[in-house]
Amino acid sequence: MSVKHEVNSAPEAESSAKVANNVKDIMKQLILALYAALILGPFMLVVMTSLKTTQELYQNPLGLPSTFHFENYAKILMEGKMPFYFKNSFIVTIISVTLIIFFASLASYAITRLDGWKSKLMYGLFTIGMMIPTQVNMIPLYLLVVKLGLNNSILGLIIIYIAFAMPFATFIMVGFMRGIPKSLIEASKIDGANEWQIYSRVVLPLSLPSVATVAIFNFVWVWNDLLFPLLFVRTDSVKTLPLAMLRFQGEYMFDFPMIFVGVVLASIPMIVTYVLLQRWFIQGLTAGSVKG
């Protein structure tokens, strides 16, 4: 009797565990769906608005546009200086982010490879930067930039972005590189790699998840940043998108659909970057490097 009971109870326990699992799954999906709606809702509203006429927006602010006015996009891309600002933003963002990754990864490599006080001092100096709010630096920074003749120039913006990004980028990458087993570096030394080769062919490829993190984080920041262009840029030819959008608001006074077109266009590169890089986020590259 007791044997029979045991035989029966196993599938029962299993099925009740299954139900519990399903409930958990559904809850998880529900929360994720809610979160997605929270993010996507406003964004869809922006996209819809950008495809309406001003009149339609006032009549039916939340609904779908009766016809999709893609000419809004054509108008901005053809008539305005939008493509030009786009180009400026691209140059500033791409170069800044690339160099941030390059310098931060080199610095992190040095910090993780050196030992003793040299490493600690370097790491300390970098991370102290994270504790100082940008606003505190604004006036000295302004004076410095002007003295160096770097104000109102793309190069100036790039240098400032790199400098301000280094602490956090280094912090993230040092954290990641410290997790790379020491024996991998020793193995490459024995295999005949010099420091540059250890960095470029072993440590950097293994740090791709942290590179992706730093890239996404800084891409979004630099692309969206209004503060530094506002401080340092005066001429049109140096303006980046956020600063241009500010003026745009004046130009298309209350022409909200046009402003929203600008917003949508300005968001696309960030979305693309995120989608392209997120797989590195997720991929745990170090899995399987050591042990069984």
Partner 1 sequence: MSGVRLEGITKVFGSTVVLTKTDLDIKDGEFLVLVGPSGCGKSTTLRIVAGLETPTEGSVFIGNRNVTKLEPSDRDIAMVFQDYALYPHMKVFDNMAFGLKLRKVSKKEITERVNEAAEMLGLTNLLDRYPKQLSGGQRQRVALGRAVVRHPQVFLMDEPLSNLDAKLRVQTRAELIKLHQKLKSTVIYVTHDQTEAMTMGTRIVVMKDGLVQQVDTPKFIYDHPANMFVAGFIGSPPMNFIKGSLETANGKVLFKSQGISLELPTTSAEAPKQQDVVLGIRPENVEVIDQNKFEESKFLTCHVEVSEYVGSESIVHTKTPDGQKLVVKVNANGKIAEPGETIKLRPLDGFLHLFDPQSGSNLLSMKV
Interaction of residue 113 with partner 1, rule CB under 8 A: no
CB of 187 to partner 1, least distance (A): 4
CB of 193 to partner 1, least distance (A): 6
Interaction of residue 237 with partner 1, rule CB under 8 A: no
Q: What are phi and psi of 284, to 5 degrees?
A: -85, 95
- Closest to partner 1 by CB, 202 or 215: 202
- One-letter identity of residue 121: L
- One-letter identity of residue 95: I
- Give the C-alpha separation, 270 to 216, whole Å: 8
| Segment interacting with partner 1, rule: CB under 8 A, options 136-144, 197-205, 258-266, 268-276 | 197-205
Q: Which two tokens stand for residue 113?
A: 């490879």
CB of 180 to partner 1, least distance (A): 9
Lay out the site mask for partner 1 across 248-287 (x = CB under 8 A, - = otherwise).
-------------------------------------xxx
CB of 202 to partner 1, least distance (A): 6
- Give the C-alpha separation, 26 to 192, whole Å: 53
- Give the C-alpha separation, 100 to 169, whole Å: 7
Residue with tokens 């939008």: 82
Interaction of residue 38 with partner 1, rule CB under 8 A: no
Query: Residue 230 in contact with residue 240, Cβ under 8 Å?
Result: no
Q: Which two tokens stand for residue 62?
A: 């939340």
Residue with tokens 């160096």: 148
Q: Which of 8, 9, 134, 289 binds partner 1 (CB under 8 A)?
A: 289
CB of 281 to partner 1, least distance (A): 16
| Segment interacting with partner 1, rule: CB under 8 A, options 66-74, 89-97, 166-174, 185-193 | 185-193
Interaction of residue 195 with partner 1, rule CB under 8 A: no
Interaction of residue 190 with partner 1, rule CB under 8 A: yes
Interaction of residue 25 with partner 1, rule CB under 8 A: no
- One-letter identity of residue 175: G
- Closest to partner 1 by CB, 106 or 285: 285
- Give the C-alpha separation, 173 to 152, whole Å: 31
Interaction of residue 288 with partner 1, rule CB under 8 A: yes
Interaction of residue 181 with partner 1, rule CB under 8 A: yes
Cα distances from 41 to residues 35, 62, 242, in angstroms, run: 10, 11, 23
CB of 218 to partner 1, least distance (A): 23
Query: Residue 172 in contact with residue 216, Cβ under 8 Å?
Result: no
- Closest to partner 1 by CB, 4 or 291: 291
Q: What is the CA radius of gyration of the chain?
A: 26
CB of 169 to partner 1, least distance (A): 21
- Closest to partner 1 by CB, 124 or 181: 181
- Give the C-alpha separation, 15 to 25, whole Å: 15
Of 42, 86, 76, the residue nearest 257 (C-alpha): 76
Residue ranges that bind partner 1, judged by CB under 8 A:
181, 183-184, 186-194, 197, 201-202, 205-206, 285-292
